[in-house]
Structure 1
Amino acid sequence: MRLAVLADIHGNADALRAVLHDARAQGAEGLIVNGDVVNRGPDSVEALETLLNLPASFPLGVRFTLGNHDDLLRLWQARSGLLPADWFTDPFWGATAWSAEQLERAGLLHAPADWPMSLTLSAPGLPDVLISHGTPTEYREGISERTAPERVTELAESGRFGLLIGSHIHRPADAIFKLAGGQSVRVLNTGAVGAPADGDPRAAYLLLTATPHGWQAELRRVSYDRAGILHRFESSGLLDMGLSAEIFRDELVTARSLYTPYWIWTETQQLPRTAATWAEFLRQHPADRFGPSVPKA
Structure 2
Amino acid sequence: MRFAAIADVHGNRAALKAVLDDISALGIRDIVNLGDCFSGPLEADQTGALLLLLDLKAERTVRGNHDRYLVEKTADQLEASDAHAHRQMSPRHFDWLRKLPFSMIWRDEVFLCHATPKDDNLYWLETVSPQGHVTLRPQDEIEVLAEGIEQSLILCGHSHIARMVSLSDGRLIVNPGSVGQPAYDDDAPFYHKVETGHAMASYAVIEKTGHGWAPLFRNVPYDHMAMSRLAAANGRAEWASALATGRV
Q: Which residue of 1 aligns with 2:68?
A: 71
Deviation sequence 1:55-79 (CA, Å, 0-9, x none): 57x6xx3511001111112233366
Structure 1 outlier segments of 4+, above 4 Å? none
Q: Which residue of 2 aligns with 1:39?
A: 39
Q: How large is the RMSD of aligned CA atoms in angstroms?
A: 2.4
Q: How many residues of Structure 1 are paired with residues of Structure 2 in the alignment?
A: 227
Distance in 2 between residues matched to 1:118 and 1:216, nearest whole Å: 22
The Cα shift of 1:39 comes to: 1.2
User: Is 2:175 the counterpart of 1:189?
Assistant: yes
The residue type paired with residue 176 of structure 2 is: T
Distance in 1 between residues matched to 2:228 and 2:118, nearest whole Å: 34
Judge conservation of contact 1:117–1:135 (CA < 8 Å) in 2: no
Judge conservation of contact 1:192–1:205 (CA < 8 Å) in 2: yes
Taking only the aligned residue pairs, the percentage that are identical comes to 28
The Cα shift of 1:114 comes to: 1.4
User: Is 2:124 the counterpart of 1:143?
Assistant: yes
The Cα shift of 1:135 comes to: 1.1
Judge conservation of contact 1:5–1:31 (CA < 8 Å) in 2: yes
Judge conservation of contact 1:74–1:100 (CA < 8 Å) in 2: no
Q: Which residue of 2 aligns with 1:154?
A: 144
The Cα shift of 1:11 comes to: 0.8
Distance in 2 between residues matched to 1:67 and 1:121, nearest whole Å: 17
Question: Counterpart of 1:219 in 2: which secondary structure?
Answer: strand
Gaps of 5+ in 2: 127-135, 184-195
| TM score, norm. by length of structure 1 | 0.69
Structure whose residues are more often helix by fraction: 1
Deviation sequence 1:214-272 (CA, Å, 0-9, x none): 2221111111121321233356xx32xxxxx332222222313x4xxxxxxxxxxxxxx
Moved more, 166-175 or 94-103: 94-103
The Cα shift of 1:176 comes to: 1.9
Distance in 2 between residues matched to 1:140 and 1:227, nearest whole Å: 29
Judge conservation of contact 2:225–2:244 (CA < 8 Å) in 1: no
The Cα shift of 1:185 comes to: 2.7
| Aligned ranges 1:227-246 → 2 under 5 Å | 227-233=225-231, 238-239=234-235, 245-246=236-237
The residue type paired with residue 76 of structure 1 is: K
| Aligned ranges 1:199-238 → 2 under 5 Å | 199-233=197-231, 238=234
The residue type paired with residue 64 of structure 1 is: T
The Cα shift of 1:211 comes to: 3.1
| Aligned ranges 1:93-104 → 2 under 5 Å | 93-104=79-90
Gaps of 5+ in 1: 80-86, 240-244, 259-297
Q: Which residue of 1 aligns with 2:3?
A: 3
| Aligned ranges 1:45-194 → 2 under 5 Å | 45-55=45-55, 61=58, 63-77=60-74, 93-104=79-90, 107-122=92-107, 128-144=109-125, 146-157=136-147, 160-178=150-168, 183-194=169-180
Residues 161/249 of structure 1: CA separation in 2 closer, same or farther (3 Å cut): same
Question: Counterpart of 1:65 in 2: which secondary structure?
Answer: coil
Larger of the two Rg values belongs to structure: 1
| TM score, norm. by length of structure 2 | 0.81
The residue type paired with residue 168 of structure 1 is: H
Judge conservation of contact 1:156–1:185 (CA < 8 Å) in 2: no
